[in-house]
Chain A
Amino acid sequence: MTKARIATLWLDGCSGCHMSFLDLDERLVEIAPLIDLVYSPVVDAKVFPENVDLTLVEGALANEEDIEKILKVRANTKLLVAFGDCAVTGNVPAMRNTFTVEEVLKRGYEDNATCNPGAPTKEVPKLERKVIPLHELVKVDLFIPGCPPKADVIFYVVSEILAGRMPDMSTRCRFGN
């Protein structure tokens, strides 16, 4: 039997959605033989591979590297899932949109610094002017709201997709909870 090639990606979020994925607990071991986890913060793959069947994307798009990553993921993934409220709506990371990038950086690196004040400029990716949800940039095939989505919902989604069915999210989760 061919294993499903599954990836998870963490962009501008808190990792809570990934933690909820780990909250599958013993069910992780149950689904392990059915999947190939080809890319994820919890495995050691360093390059996003080709021909991925399903990618769960946590987090919003906030900087230039997030944009590069989501484009690469979209190009190599059959089913791209906006995983959790930040990916679906922008949620908490998008709260910085009411301020300018300069104002936000000033607080962190000038007001709240006692030595070498000034925003970092070397090695770090440039922040986008606005934080946006995934579907503002790429086609999203399935939305899973929740902050984070519950483990049972994640299990349902993965199980349905492994069974070749498109999950019906209409009654299974809501924003925030």
Chain B
Amino acid sequence: MQTIKIDGITRVEGHGRITIQLDDEGMVEDAHLHVLQFRGFEKFCEGRPFYEMPSLTARICGICPISHLLAGAKAADAIMGLRIPETAEMLRRVVHLAQITQSHALSFFHLSSPDFLMGWDSNPAERNVLGLAAKHPDVAMDGIRLRKWGQEVIDLLGGRRIHTPWIVPGGVSQPLSVEHRDEILKGLPGALSIATRTLEFFRHMMEKLQDEVLTFGNFPSLFMATGRKDGNLCLYGSRRKHEGWLRFGDADGNILADNIHPRDYHQYIGEAVDEASYMKAPYYKPTGYPLGVYRVGPAARLNLARQCGTPLADEALNEFRRNYGNVTLSSFHNHYARLIEIVFAIERMQTILEQPAVLDKDVRAEAKANEAEGVGIIEAPRGTLIHDYRVDSNGMMISANLIVATAHNTLAMNRGLVQVARKYISGHEVTEGMLNRMEGLIRAFDPCLSCATHADGRMALEVEVLHPDGSLAGPAVRR
């Protein structure tokens, strides 16, 4: 008998548990992720004014509050039935790109890079960002500074780093000053050079990570992301230009469904309850549950994009595609895709900030509730985020449905866990490094379980190995 318990998955954003089912020969039969927290935003927003929703739902997640602020603001824009000023949209894009930068930097440097740089099997007491600072100070400082820069840009725009009240229904609350614009632009080349040198070093490191590419969630599935008219990488999704609509593609690069208006998302996305997790399992409705597996996030976005749309990021994407094809099926490539997106984000910020219109003072449109329902969709750092609000004639919330990036990946994460478990677990001896790889699979998705059960979440990972009859197989407590 053997029980494995990882009591607290670490270096991910959330709380959860994994169970692994073994067959009679001790081979892995199945594996499952359980998310353990629930908060209930969809219910307790009831009766509150819709314009509170961006600020309220920001508290779903302290890592990517900007995502919820923007999805909430876009849903509110739809309820008001208005077009926000062009400058407001430019500023929302900039703050979003800053968030992509800081969140991806956190995922890559603070949370995941200790596994690559110090080794999956290295001393767990040192395998973290502080250990990284001691062993690889240059990389750690690059990570800390890149994340810091992203956070500072958010602060310069929104007056604070976390849970800014600046993003509001109808636009943003304050225009951008010349001084702040210049300060952002001043720091931009430094951030870009960190991003490009990290991309270069990770590109070389990929040669040593081919096992991970092959096993960390490498299988055919569908992919989902929002799209732009020109087919390029879409992160914010302009309501003004009727962009940011949903797109599904398959493993061969075919587009299965395109230009799905945000309000029609539920025709394509179903939500199944997993009786053993507070995180629901969305599925592609035309295929059904549980076969309708699709993935979201950085790799899925690049799979579905024609190009990024900025020079350095496009160069990096082309290089990536030369090596791995136009559609990558490996979720481990999310790390690589994250670095490409950081380069893109910084380049794009520069082009937006260099336009004089970014300083325009007209940054907010006002209206009361004119529509009964509003859906706001944005590409959060981890993937597509959907906020769907229904209001009464006074604009008070009747109900909300929120589908967050991490949840879309539920079915894929479970499948990836099986794949990693089959590769690294055989029989009875289970090492700490093996369990760390299970966590590594989860880290590749950069899940935010805090978001995933909006609801709540933290995901502590506990792994339990079960015999076919469901009894626990053997103790190997992870320390």
Contacts and interface: CB of A to CB of B under 8 A. Distances in A.
Interface of A: 10-20, 22-23, 25-26, 28-29, 32, 37, 40-47, 62-63, 65, 91-93, 95-96, 98-99, 103-109, 111-125, 127, 147-148, 150-151, 177
Interface of B: 5-8, 10-13, 15, 17, 19, 34-40, 42-44, 46, 56, 59-63, 65, 106, 110-111, 124-125, 127-130, 133-134, 137, 140-141, 144-145, 147-148, 151, 160-163, 266, 270-278, 280, 283, 285, 289, 399, 401, 436, 450, 455-456, 458, 460, 477-479
Contact of B42 (A112, A117, A119, A151): A112
A43 B272 contact: no
A113 B273 contact: yes
Given A12-B456, A108-B40, 9 more contacts: A16-B63, A26-B141, A45-B8, A45-B125, A47-B8, A62-B37, A107-B42, A108-B280, A119-B273
A41 B13 contact: yes
B348 to A, nearest CB: 23
A44 B275 contact: no
B19 A98 contact: no
Interface centre among B125, B141, B436, by most chain A C-beta atoms within 10 angstroms, is: B125
A150 B437 CA distance: 34
Contact of A42 (B129, B145, B280): B129
Nearest to A26: B144
A14 to B, nearest CB: 4
B135 to A, nearest CB: 12
Contacts of B10: 40-46
B287 to A, nearest CB: 12
Given A117-B273, A120-B275, A121-B275, A41 B39 contact: no
A131 B463 CA distance: 28
B273 A28 contact: no
A12 B39 contact: yes
21 contacts: A10-B15, A14-B65, A18-B62, A19-B62, A19-B161, A29-B140, A41-B458, A45-B124, A63-B36, A99-B40, A105-B40, A112-B42, A114-B271, A114-B272, A114-B285, A115-B283, A122-B276, A124-B278, A127-B38, A147-B59, A177-B160
Contacts of B130: 28-29, 32, 37, 43
B44 A95 contact: yes
A37 B124 CA distance: 12
Given A28-B130, A42-B111, A93-B456, A63 B140 contact: no
A98 B460 CA distance: 28
A63 B125 contact: no
Given A19-B63, A23-B151, A118 B42 contact: no
B275 A116 contact: yes
Contacts of B280: 108-109, 112-113
Nearest to B402: A112
A15 B17 contact: no
B34 A124 contact: yes
A62 B456 contact: yes
Contacts of B61: 14-16
B439 to A, nearest CB: 8
A177 to B, nearest CB: 8
A124 B65 contact: no
Contacts of B276: 120, 122-124
Contacts of A22: 106, 110, 147
Nearest to A37: B130
B24 to A, nearest CB: 23
B133 A32 contact: yes
Contacts of B273: 109, 113, 115-120
A108 B147 contact: no
Given A116-B273, A120-B274, A120-B277, A44 B455 contact: no
Contacts of A117: 273
A92 B56 contact: yes
Contact of A98 (B44, B141, B456, B478): B44
Interface centre among B15, B35, B39, B127, by most chain A C-beta atoms within 10 angstroms, is: B39
B162 A96 contact: no
Given A10-B458, A41-B13, A43-B130, A112 B401 contact: yes
Contacts of B40: 96, 99, 104-105, 107-108
A43 B44 contact: no
B8 A46 contact: yes
A13 B163 CA distance: 13
Given A28-B133, A118-B273, A148-B162, A16 B59 contact: yes
B124 A99 contact: no
Contacts of B134: 32
Nearest to B10: A44
Contacts of B140: 29
Contact of B272 (A11, A29, A111, A113): A113
Contacts of A46: 5-8, 10, 460, 477-479
